[in-house]
Structures are given as structure tokens and as C-alpha cells.
Amino acid sequence: MQQRELGRSGLAVSALGLGCMGMSYSYGDIPDPAAMVRVLRGAVDRGVTFFDTAEVYGPFTNEYLLGEALAPVRDQVTIATKFGFRLPADMGPGLSAERSFDLGLDSRPATIRHACEGALRRLRVEVIDLFYQHRVDPAVPIEDVAGTVGALIREGKVRHWGLSEAGAQTIRRAHAVTPLAALQSEYSLWSRQAEATTLPVLEELGIGFVPFSPLGKGFLTGAMDATTAIKPGDFRTILPRFTPEARAANQAVVDLLRAVAQAHAATPAQVALAWVLARAPWVVPIPGTTKLARLEENLGALDLSLTAADVAALTTAVEAIPVTGARYPDHIERTTGL
């Protein structure tokens, strides 16, 4: 398995990670936990060392799942989790993705510490490898957040920290207090808002980039079209980009990927991931899946070498296709700093 270092942090992980949210949250039907344990351990067997979760996924159930699955291989893996939503201690599982944003943000120092202690217990670890602020909390200065996590690092409870969906100035302010290892934000062929101002800052400061949804929440795989039924409870039912009309219009992006894939004896998913991987050596995508067959397909992207000319041609071609539909409804988009 190829390895990549997240910026200049010293944190080296598999070049492709695994986003675990869908194993217990967000996409409608919740998979069987025992089956997901097998997928997680199968990922380790195939060389994946980087796993992404969050306390809000479930809530809490996704961290418990990773804790169970990865405990036997703890010394082989890097686990990232996140804090930053207002989660009552007695909240049970079954929280939908869209409702999580209604809970409100909370990155007060005491809340961060409480989230850290809970994650350590649920993940069955003595230290959190990578601890992200899930969304920037406008009510708490980012310097206070960075200082609190810095203290947790000095106490040996956290190794590295990062931000999610933060803008360039927030990144600079946080990094000046406690150096960041990574920024996690949505990034793919059809979600490129991080390019203009964020990626240059990451390169300048030596911060790694961890794109989530590098396959466009499944759309860029070619596995769905305008006629695909999206089940109730699936987060995509509220996304403007996933209305039947938007999917019909956006099929042109998938058609482009299919054409490139055919020329390279690959799949659309592999081309989409290879394009993201080619952006910089400090970029580590974390596509999610609940199936080993899809995981193996995704890992095949590491063997697909797109030349600079290939990447440029694909970029130019996709830029000529207008993407229909916003990536999130306004009330969710407002929680991001991009």
C-alpha cells in the first residue's frame, strides 16, 4: 500500500483512507454491525491504515464500531474522529445527518475535553491519532479551540489535530496556536470550492488535505442516475444536487468519467479518485463504502496513473460542464467556512 504524509506533520497514512460514516449513519438503512466489522478488518488486510469517524455519527455508534473492529490491529492503524456538535449525554442512536446540524455547534473547551474523553473510551484507545473540529463554531474563538486541543496533545490524549470545512483565515489563526496536521473538506471533480484559497494555504503551511466525498456521495461512481430511488432517511434526499432533475443534468459529468475510464481500462470511480490523488502528494481521500468489493475497486485507483496531461484534460473537460444544484441546503452550507 502506498503511504502519504499529511503535509509536514509527520503523520503517514495509507494513500487512500476509509470514511466510515455510512456504516452507522446518514444513508438510510443501517448496515449490520457485524458485517461492518468484517469490512473494517478486511480494509486493514488490504493495507488501509487510515479510518475516519466522528462522535455525531450515530451519534456515538460509529466510534463504538471502530473501537470494536480495530482494537486487535490498533498498532497498525490511524483513527481520526471529530468534536464540535452539541450532543446531550443521554442522546441515543438514530440521529439523522440533517438533524445533526439542528443540534447546534459547540466547541467550548469543556465540551472538547468531554468529547475527547468519550472518544478515547468508545474507540478503546489511549490516544486519539487525529482529532478534528467538525465545524467551526462562530461562538468560540478558534484560538481557544486550538489552545484546548494543544493542551490535550501535551497531556498525551491527542497526537494530531485538524479542522473540517474551515476557510483560509481560520486555518491560519488555528495553525499559529497549535500546528494543524490536516484539513478535511469536501472535494471532488464536482465540488472544488477548496481550490481557490484553501489549498494554497495548506501547501504554504505544510498541512495535509483529507477530501471527504471524493466520489460525490456516490454519484460519480456511475451507480445512480435520475431514476434511482433514494430511500427515506438517506441524507441525499435533502441535497439540491440529488433531485431527479439535478441528477439528470449532472449525468454529463458521469458520462465524461465513463469515457476516460474506458480509455484507461478503469471504472468511473477509479478515475474520479485518481484525479483527486493527483492534485498533490499530501492529499489523502477518504471514500466511504460498506462493501469490500467497492473498497477493492476504490483501491484500484492507486494503480491508475493519470499523467499531468490526463489530469489537465479531465479538469478542462469537467469545467465545461455546469454542475446543477448546490451541494447542501443553505442552512447546512452556512456552517462551513469555505
Q: For 165-205, how does the pLDDT look when each residue is reduced to its tens digit (9 = 90+)?
A: 999 999 999 999 999 999 999 999 999 999 999 999 999 99
Cβ neighbours of residue 20 under 8 Å, at least 6 residues apart? 40, 51, 52, 53, 57, 62, 65, 66, 288
Q: Say if residues 207 and 176 touch (Cβ distance below 8 Å).
A: no
Question: Within a domain: residue 169?
Answer: yes
In a domain, 303, yes or no: yes
Domain assignment present for residue 216? The answer is: yes
Tell me, yes or no, whether 284 lies in a domain.
Answer: yes
Pick the closest to residue 209 from 5, 2, 14 (CA basis): 5
Of the candidates 57, 132, 187, 328, the residue annotated as catalytic is 57
Establish whether 57 is a catalytic residue: yes
Q: Are 211 and 4 in contact (CB under 8 A)?
A: no
The residue ranges of the chain whose pLDDT is under 50 are none
Q: Is residue 309 part of a domain?
A: yes
> Cα dihedral sign for 108, 109, 114, 119?
positive
- Cβ of 94: how many Cβ atoms within 10 Å? 12
pLDDT at 90 (0 to 100) = 66
Question: What's the pLDDT score for residue 98?
Answer: 63
Q: Do the beta carbons of residue 231 and residue 31 sit within 8 Å?
A: no
Count of structural domains within the chain: 1
Contact assessment for residue 57 and residue 21, using Cβ atoms and an 8 Å cutoff: yes
Nearest residue to 184 (alpha-carbon basis) of 211, 216, 144: 211
Which domain range does residue 219 map to?
Answer: 3-333
pLDDT of residue 332: 87
Task: Identify which of 180, 125, 326 has the alpha carbon closest to the alpha carbon of residue 243.
Answer: 326
**How confident is the model at residue 96, as a pLDDT?**
67
pTM of the model as a whole: 0.96
Query: Domain with 328 in it: what CATH number?
Result: 3.20.20.100
- Rounded CA-CA distance 212/71 in Å is 24
How far is the C-alpha of 329 from the C-alpha of 148, rounded, in Å?
Answer: 31
Give the pLDDT confidence score for residue 70 in this predicted structure: 98
Residue 338 lies in a domain: no
Please answer whether residues 324 and 250 qualify as being in contact, where contact means their C-beta atoms are separated by less than 8 angstroms: yes
SS3 13: strand
